[in-house]
A and B are shown apart, each in its own frame.
Chain A
Amino acid sequence: MATASNARYLNWVWCSLCCWLLLASTSVLAHPADNSLIQIDIRDSGLRVHVQLPVEQLYMAEPALFPKGQAFDSIDEALPAWSDFDQAAMISYLKKHLHLFMAADGPDPLNPSALPRVRLAAQPQINNMSVVVSNNSLQFKALLDVPFPDPGIRNSRAWRWLVDTSLINHRVRNHKTLITLGSDALHGRDGSDPGVLGIVGYQSAPLVITSDPGSSLTLLTTLIKQGVMHILAGFDHLLFLICLLLAAPLRIRQKRWEIEPDRRQALWNLLTLVSAFSLGHTLTLALASLGFVSVSSHTVEIAVAGSLLISAGYLLWPLSCHRITVVATLFGLVHGLAFASELGNDGFALPRQLLMLGGFAIGIELAQVGICLLVMPCLLELARHRAGIYHRLRQGGAVFTLTLASGWAIERTFNVSNPLQLLQDQLPLILLGIYLLVLASSLASLASRPASQPTVS
């Protein structure tokens, strides 16, 4: 019991600390002369260009783009009017001021203007144009897909890419654009860690992109790391896994949880639950990332939050004793769809897709096994010898998960900012704190009982 209340106390301490830090830092985040961002992904089929332009400066450069633009008291009031930009004018503006070239090796690789070049598609596909609030300012975002003119050249490493932008700074002379490289299919680089390529300003020479060649092995290890990090940093999946683990050493009798007296059965529960979850998410991860299944990521994110609400609720009130392995599989299917949206290997050639998928899936399983190995011995020890504490932990964990999942459900369903953002920002520390308390309690339990206690099975 002490454990659970300590954990709650710790939550409060962290929560108030993070509230304070967050409030303390919000004013620092805003500064008016934001730079633009251009991220280039080099894919098998062409270049994908993510463009982000600060609306205030875009308006300064080309007021006609925002016929309804005007000053507002708050950014939330401003968003609808500024989102109503002139779509056609915006498309021609992007085409006029952003040019992409392929360049062969020239006589002077340091001088971009000396490189012979081929203009990439004069008519890029422009998608997902929107105005969003980011870091307390309005940002225009768009996605440009620029197909390669000749599929033959894409495998040649002798080619380079040139980015020539005068977006905003054709007029706003002080404006700067930060250009980064995301994924690079031609050199086996995934997009998890965009590298800064350069900063361009008024009348800068076009930026030349040359990327470090990477091997299949580095791509695989990068994707494994990405998979591990996706579980560790994607708290919804982590919490779902923890809910499963909390249920493993239990059984349902008369619509109540009680400790499973059979240790082997508890381990079997663990194995089946985690395997069922893995089976489900691996299946949909593979299907969705290879393009066989497509569900909007918005729907998936809502379903993930729903799966958390249901499992946390179930952990409090096990209304029926239907096979929870089936439920774990079903929810696994949902989480797999979410993993797939994170993987983003769309646009790569099939062998590379399979390699990335494999690496990512291995990473996810590694993280899962790691968490099981860290957490499960503690849970089994507490369940067996400190049943009171265990039930508090189960209830505490369920309430905690319900709370966070409600935040996500609200955020994702209504497209508003997460009301529990402050709590979420400190989750790594909170979870670590709770884990250390659980570990300490189980060690204390282990130390306080005779070394070899006969178990009844």
Chain B
Amino acid sequence: MNIRALAASSVITLATLPWLSGCQVTLGDATTEESSSSSSDILTASVSLGDCDLDTQAESVACAANAFLDTLSSSELSKAQLSWSDSEARTVWSNLPVGTVTRNGLRLDAMSDESKTAALVLARAALSDAGYVDMIGGFAADEYLNSVKGASGYGAELYYVAIFGDPSADGDWMLQIGGHHMAYNITWLSGQGYPFPHHKGAEPKASFTLDSATYAPLKDEADALVAVFDSLDSTDLSYAYLSGESYSDVLVGPDNGSGTLPDNYPSGSDRDGMLVSDMSTYQQSLVKEAIRQWVEDYPDDIADDLMDAYTSDEAFADTYVAWAGTQSKGVDVDTSGTYMRIDGPRLWIEIACQGGIVITNETHYHTMFRDKYYDYGNSL
């Protein structure tokens, strides 16, 4: 476990000198302030793959990654391109704002316009249409916190792009796109993409309007999962309830530079909830829809295989849906502490509703999408 990374993100208050705490306060990111004027470009840019629209997604995304790297100066390149063998760096990502936990790579607001466009093309190649919309929605949510809610340390361009190794259609490399409430970790091994761990969060969680465009980056995901629980009768709902457990956040959250796959998935009798194979066909289809909301952030080349693996009869015979929170309130996303998850033999999806940070009278979402065996392509 990389202790230093978690310690850095923790608030150590037991023994701070006044001098030190003064310094800590100023960590709040002096470089984040200039973002608001140009941010709308990113949110509204129309992006096409152009020359990188190739036969397979692996080819397209490698082409777009190399095109992005080609736009960088040598000093930018040293930040943006990291060593494939550095497993600790590959596991550095977070849900927290960028002023609190430093991310890998080069930040959008530090890029030339050319590099910024190339970075968006790269994201476009790495994600499906729906996934790209969600990513832009994530940028917009942060911009909303900054420009509408007046919170600093947030903004549409406070997101980083990092590439590990040399991108190629049949080699081994990894792409990270991340910032506050966002962590894409997509690993390619010999042309096969492994898009996990994937963290998305959203504050505000409901739909919001920014510059007359409307966004709701996690609404579909949460609604689809809530629909699963809404379809259960009261007996099954209490059967799916994780009695004696509470969740103030997702369970298998940021890896904090551990360099290893997480080891804290529930096992044995802790794997609890309603078995999907015990549900009706209709209820199973709702589970499938919920899973689709996460998996189909990625192009068919990746998503089709994953959907097959996660929703086969064999998988559903070992997949639990479960929830926690205030039992009397039911599965209510507006109640802080409400928690839902899908726990399969490989698949791990969870969503936690926490009190808001900027919009304090509303809850907000943290979600995780992991594959217990193929996070980081199982190549750490």
Contact = CB atoms under 8 A, between A and B. Distances in A.
A182 B14 contact: yes
Nearest to B360: A73
Contacts of B218: none
Contact of B3 (A33, A52, A192, A199): A199
Nearest to A201: B264
A139 B11 CA distance: 11
A198 interface: yes
Contacts of A192: 15
B353 to A, nearest CB: 11
Interface of A: 18, 21-35, 37, 39, 50, 52, 56-57, 60-61, 134-135, 139, 171-176, 178, 180, 182, 191-194, 196, 198-199, 201-202, 229, 232-235, 424-428
Contact of A174 (B11, B247, B357): B247
10 interchain residue pairs of minimum CB distance:
A25-B28, A233-B19, A33-B249, A425-B22, A28-B153, A24-B152, A27-B151, A28-B99, A196-B7, A174-B251
11 contacts: A22-B25, A22-B26, A23-B152, A24-B153, A28-B97, A172-B248, A174-B248, A182-B14, A196-B7, A229-B19, A233-B18
Contacts of A178: 6-7, 10, 12
A31 B357 contact: yes
A27 to B, nearest CB: 4
Contacts of B264: 201-202
B27 interface: yes
B29 A33 contact: no
A25 B21 CA distance: 13
Given A21-B26, A25-B28, A425-B22, A34 B11 contact: yes
Among A134, A178, A202, find the residue whose CB has the most chain B CB atoms closer than 10 A.
A178
B1 A199 contact: yes
A172 B247 contact: yes
Nearest to B249: A33
B355 interface: yes
Contacts of B10: 34-35, 37, 178
Contacts of B246: 60-61, 171-173
B247 A27 contact: no
A338 B245 CA distance: 46
B251 A24 contact: no
B96 interface: yes
Nearest to A425: B22
B15 A25 contact: no
A24 B29 contact: yes
Contact of A27 (B3, B15, B250, B358): B358
A35 B254 CA distance: 14
A267 to B, nearest CB: 31
Contact of B248 (A25, A28, A33, A202): A33
A18 B32 CA distance: 15
Interface in B62-112: 96-97, 99-100
B35 interface: no
A174 B324 CA distance: 12
Contacts of A201: 264
A181 to B, nearest CB: 11
A32 B248 contact: yes
Among A18, A30, A57, A424, find the residue whose CB has the most chain B CB atoms closer than 10 A.
A30
A240 to B, nearest CB: 16
Nearest to B325: A60
B148 to A, nearest CB: 13
A388 to B, nearest CB: 34
Contacts of A30: 357
A173 B352 CA distance: 12
B11 A229 contact: no
Contacts of A56: 248, 355
A27 B13 contact: no
Contacts of A424: 18, 22
A261 B251 CA distance: 74
Given A52-B13, A180-B14, A18 B152 contact: no
Nearest to A426: B22
A425 B25 contact: yes
A380 to B, nearest CB: 29
A61 B18 CA distance: 32
B275 to A, nearest CB: 20
B336 to A, nearest CB: 8
A191 B15 contact: yes
Contacts of A175: 248
B253 interface: yes
Given A32-B357, A172-B247, A135 B11 contact: yes
A236 to B, nearest CB: 10
B325 to A, nearest CB: 10
Contacts of A52: 13-14
Contacts of A182: 14-15
Among A39, A134, A173, A182, find the residue whose CB has the most chain B CB atoms closer than 10 A.
A173
Nearest to B152: A24
Nearest to A35: B10
Nearest to A30: B357
B30 interface: yes
Interface string B140-179: 0000000000011110000000000000000000000000
Interface in B242-260: 244-251, 253
B45 interface: no
Given A24-B28, A25-B25, A174-B251, A180 B11 contact: no
Contacts of B12: 37, 178, 180, 194
A303 B306 CA distance: 69
A345 to B, nearest CB: 15
Contacts of B354: 32-33
A25 B12 CA distance: 17
A135 to B, nearest CB: 5
Contact of B30 (A21, A57, A196): A21
Interface string B337-374: 10000000000000010110110000000000000000
A160 B32 CA distance: 46
A235 B15 CA distance: 17
Contacts of B355: 32, 56
A270 B124 CA distance: 71
A201 B258 CA distance: 15
Given A178-B7, A194-B12, 9 more contacts: A21-B28, A22-B26, A52-B13, A134-B11, A174-B250, A176-B6, A196-B7, A199-B1, A202-B264
A192 B247 CA distance: 34
Contact of B152 (A27, A134, A135): A27
A265 B21 CA distance: 42
A31 B100 contact: yes
B17 interface: yes
Nearest to B146: A27
B230 interface: no
B3 A196 contact: yes
Given A18-B26, A134-B11, A182-B15, A198 B3 contact: yes
A173 B19 contact: no
Interface in B27-61: 27-30, 32-33
Contacts of A32: 248-249, 354-355, 357
A156 B244 CA distance: 42
Contacts of A39: 14-15
Contact of B13 (A60, A139, A232, A426): A139
A50 B13 CA distance: 11
A232 B18 CA distance: 11
